[in-house]
């Protein structure tokens, strides 16, 4: 059974080709038969008949000359002057008769050799033999004429007259036989022409009938295929209109395994994906970059499942917002807040991240598979943070009159680690989010910025993954309050290759100093930290290290120094106060 539309139409075309081939073959066979009959008549039979007619005419002319010749002999004798001319004419006629017989025999022989199917039966059977027999009888006639002429030359008129009777008898036999043969051939030609005409009529009728049958069969098949295609198109159009009107549960069901079944399966896959996409867009709204959302949409189970993955989380907080909210008109505050949130969210989505939530002026985002490569999520988070800082600087310029010098700034904490990611919440209210220690870690890093006077702090895991893409400095090793875990802090400075030579020297001095600091070589570290402060007197981290070294000298840490500071109060700014 033909399953595909293409196979069906190829089958219809093949049917017409077969019909055309049969009809053409039939016509060719009939035409060859007709041409063979006509060729046999025109090339062989008609020349024989014409040659025999010529022989008969020459015979009659020859016997008329003989009558005239004998009358002259009887009236004037064998020495009459007219006899010589008559003899020449008689012999000339005899030559013409021989040539005509030879032509008739040649045509009959060729016909038997080249059209044997016609010359091996009926009237034409042994036609060449009969032509030879006619020629033999004609030879007897010629011999009789020679004897007659010799008798006249010898003056034996009586013998000549007797020989005349013999010659006339042979002539009469020849003429009668020729007439009979010519009539048979004429009848054969007439019958052949009539048969050819009948075959031509039959061929025309047969071709018309075959054409009619092919047309009826073709129209029937086309109607059957057209009804099937029209029904399928109609059902598909209705289904598409239903989907267009919002009925995403519409489905198609075409039986079989052909093209229409494949169309139904493709349509059903499309509606299923549309349902998933619709739920995704309902859930994510405008908070996910389109290319990120498309990546998520390609995974149909992402909405319903949660899983553990290594991802990077970023937390951005606006410092000084409480003062701004108290001293700014609501309309201006809303304008500023909208611009601020735009400046903080666009870098996240622009770097393949997901905006997780807003808590007041705090924005949280995260990066990782399937939204970006598993090795690039830390790099995306760091570059997004650098862009957030740059856009906030531009925002401060735009709202300089509103902000003034009240210390409005942003702090960013970036942490990389294992989280649970997926659709989390109740049956009525769910969100695609991340939870885990890594999220808490990012919040702590964001708050730790106020201790070091920095804007972007990243964890050791983040720094390890993004070290080839961004410039950073090794800031500090600390033990957080209530834990024994050593935390390695890194400050993100710029994208790779964009740090000036002066700042590279400044970073080098700081990292050299921090190395001495961790080893307990405070005397070597102190001048370097002072040099860092000379380059940037607002470097709280360098001042913090100087203050710590003074406190360590006074034995304020209740343990042996191992290069790691134990934080008692992470929110205390007294560490940076001189």
Model pLDDT for residues 466-520, shown as the tens digit of each residue: 999 999 999 999 986 666 788 899 999 999 999 999 999 999 999 999 999 999 8
Judged by average pLDDT, the poorest of 274-283, 342-351, 477-486 is 274-283
pLDDT above 60 (res 347) = yes
Confidence of residue 2 (pLDDT cuts 50, 70, 90): very low
Round to whole Å and give the CA distance between 98 and 508. 133
- pLDDT at residue 195, as a whole number: 77
What is the number of alpha carbons within 13 Å of residue 392 lying toward its C-beta?
23
| Residue whose C-alpha is closest to residue 78's, from 148, 144, 146, 153 | 153
Cα–Cα distances in Å, from 108 out to 44, 128, 556? 6, 5, 142
- pLDDT at residue 510, as a whole number: 96
Round to whole Å and give the CA distance between 455 and 410. 6
- pLDDT at residue 574, as a whole number: 45
Q: Are strands 565-566 and 470-479 parallel, antiparallel or unpaired?
A: parallel
* Rounded to 5°, angle at Cα 250 from 249 and 256: 125
Cα–Cα distances in Å, from 82 out to 87, 156, 414? 9, 18, 147
- pLDDT at residue 138, as a whole number: 79
DSSP string, 47-107: HHHHHHHHHHHHHHHHHHHHHHHHHHHHHH-TT-THHHHHHHHHHHHHHHHHHHHHHHHHH
| Residue whose C-alpha is closest to residue 138's, from 257, 235, 52 | 52
| Residue whose C-alpha is closest to residue 371's, from 285, 298, 275, 420 | 298
| Residue whose C-alpha is closest to residue 496's, from 383, 381, 349 | 383
Q: Dump pLDDT digits (tens) for 516-563.
A: 999 989 999 999 999 999 998 889 999 999 998 988 887 765 567 888
Where b means 16+ CB within 10 Å and e means fewer, 441-473 reads bbbbbbebbbbbbbbbbbbbbbbebbeebbbbb
| Residue whose C-alpha is closest to residue 96's, from 51, 134, 145 | 51
Judged by average pLDDT, the poorest of 46-55, 277-286, 499-508 is 277-286
pLDDT above 80 (res 108) = no
Round to whole Å and give the CA distance between 516 and 454. 22
Average pLDDT estimate for 11-34: 74
- pLDDT at residue 578, as a whole number: 32
| Residue whose C-alpha is closest to residue 391's, from 329, 470, 328, 318 | 318
- pLDDT at residue 304, as a whole number: 58
Round to whole Å and give the CA distance between 96 and 57. 10
- CATH class of this structure's domain 305-497: alpha beta
- pLDDT at residue 298, as a whole number: 60
Q: Dump pLDDT digits (tens) for 186-218.
A: 787 787 778 778 877 777 887 788 788 878 887
Q: Do residues 190 and 41 lie in contact, with contact meaning Cβ atoms separated by under 8 Å? A: no
Average pLDDT, the chain: 81
Which residue has better confidence, 135 or 64? Answer: 64
Average pLDDT estimate for 126-142: 77
Q: Which residues pair with 319 in a beta bridge?
A: 409
- pLDDT at residue 96, as a whole number: 84
pLDDT above 70 (res 286) = no
Tokens representing residue 282 in the block: 């309902």
Q: Do residues 535 and 449 lie in contact, with contact meaning Cβ atoms separated by under 8 Å? A: no
pLDDT above 90 (res 135) = no
Quickly name the fold that domain 5-220 has: Methane Monooxygenase Hydroxylase; Chain G, domain 1 (1.20.58)
- pLDDT at residue 393, as a whole number: 92
pLDDT above 70 (res 6) = no
Q: What are phi and psi of 23, to 5 degrees?
A: -60, -45
Round to whole Å and give the CA distance between 181 and 273. 94
Q: Which helix (H) or strand (E) holds 522?
A: helix 522-535
Average pLDDT estimate for 19-24: 77
- Each domain of the chain, given as residue ranges in start order, spans 5-220, 305-497, 500-578
Q: Dump pLDDT digits (tens) for 348-402.
A: 999 989 888 888 788 999 998 888 888 899 999 999 999 999 999 999 888 888 8
| Three-class DSSP category at 299 | coil
**Residue with token string 């050819």:** 196
pLDDT above 80 (res 313) = yes
CB atoms within 10 A of CB 204: 11
Q: Which helix (H) or strand (E) holds 455?
A: none
Q: Dump pLDDT digits (tens) for 156-188.
A: 888 888 888 888 888 888 888 878 878 887 787
pLDDT above 50 (res 113) = yes
pLDDT above 60 (res 323) = yes
pLDDT above 50 (res 430) = yes
Tokens representing residue 347 in the block: 């870098």
């Amino acid at each position: 059974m033909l399953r595909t539309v293409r196979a069906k139409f190829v089958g219809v075309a093949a049917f017409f080709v077969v019909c055309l081939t049969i009809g053409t073959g039939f016509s060719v066979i009939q035409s060859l038969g007709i041409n063979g009959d006509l060729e046999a008549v025109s090339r062989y039979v008609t020349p024989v008949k014409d040659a025999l007619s010529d022989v008969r005419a020459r015979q009659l002319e020859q016997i008329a000359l003989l009558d005239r010749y004998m009358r002259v002999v009887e009236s004037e004798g064998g020495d009459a002057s007219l006899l010589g001319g008559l003899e020449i004419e008689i012999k000339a006629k005899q030559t013409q008769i021989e040539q005509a017989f030879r032509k008739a025999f040649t045509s009959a022989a060729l016909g038997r050799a080249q059209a044997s199917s016609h010359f091996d039966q009926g009237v034409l059977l042994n036609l060449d033999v009969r032509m030879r027999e006619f020629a033999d009888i004609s030879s007897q006639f010629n011999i009789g004429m020679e004897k007659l002429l010799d008798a006249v030359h010898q003056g034996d008129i009586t013998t000549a007259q007797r020989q005349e009777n013999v010659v006339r008898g042979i002539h009469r036999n020849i003429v009668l036989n020729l007439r009979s043969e010519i009539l048979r051939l004429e009848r054969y030609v007439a019958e052949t022409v009539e048969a050819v005409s009948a075959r031509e009529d039959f061929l025309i009728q047969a071709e018309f009938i075959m054409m009619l049958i092919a047309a009826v069969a073709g129209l029937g098949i086309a109607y059957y295929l057209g009804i099937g295609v029209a029904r399928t198109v109609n059902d598909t159009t209705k289904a598409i209109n239903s989907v267009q009107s919002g009925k995403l549960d519409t489905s198609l069901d075409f039986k079989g395994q052909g093209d229409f079944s494949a169309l139904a399966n493709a349509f059903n896959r499309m509606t299923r994906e549309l349902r998933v996409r619709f739920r995704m867009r309902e859930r994510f709204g405008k908070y996910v970059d389109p290319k990120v959302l498309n990546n998520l949409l390609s995974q149909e189970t992402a909405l319903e499942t949660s899983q553990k993955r290594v991802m990077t989380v970023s937390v951005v907080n606006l410092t000084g917002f409480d003062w701004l909210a108290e001293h700014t008109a609501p309309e201006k505050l809303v304008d500023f807040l909208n611009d601020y949130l735009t400046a903080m969210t666009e870098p996240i989505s622009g770097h393949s991240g997901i905006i997780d939530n807003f808590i007041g002026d705090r924005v949280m985002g995260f990066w990782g598979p399937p939204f970006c490569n598993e090795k690039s999520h830390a790099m995306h988070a760091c570059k997004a943070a650098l862009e957030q800082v740059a856009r906030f600087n531009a925002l401060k310029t735009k709202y300089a009159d509103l902000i003034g010098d009240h210390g409005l700034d942003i702090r960013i904490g970036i942490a990389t680690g294992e989280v649970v990611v997926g659709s989390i919440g109740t049956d009525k209210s769910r969100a695609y989010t991340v939870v885990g220690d890594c999220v808490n870690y990012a919040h702590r890093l964001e708050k730790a910025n106020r201790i070091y006077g920095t804007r972007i702090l990243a964890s050791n895991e983040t720094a390890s993954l993004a070290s080839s893409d961004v410039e950073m400095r090794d800031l500090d090793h600390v033990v957080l309050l209530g834990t024994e875990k050593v935390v390695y802090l890194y400050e993100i400075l710029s994208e790779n290759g964009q740090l000036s030579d002066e700042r590279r020297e400044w970073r080098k001095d700081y990292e050299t100093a921090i190395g001495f600091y961790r080893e307990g070589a405070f005397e070597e570290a102190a001048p370097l930290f002072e040099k860092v402060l000379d380059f940037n007197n607002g470097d709280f981290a360098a001042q913090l290290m100087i203050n710590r070294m003074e406190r360590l000298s006074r034995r304020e840490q209740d343990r042996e120094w191992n290069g790691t500071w134990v934080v008692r109060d992470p929110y205390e700014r007294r560490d940076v106060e001189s």
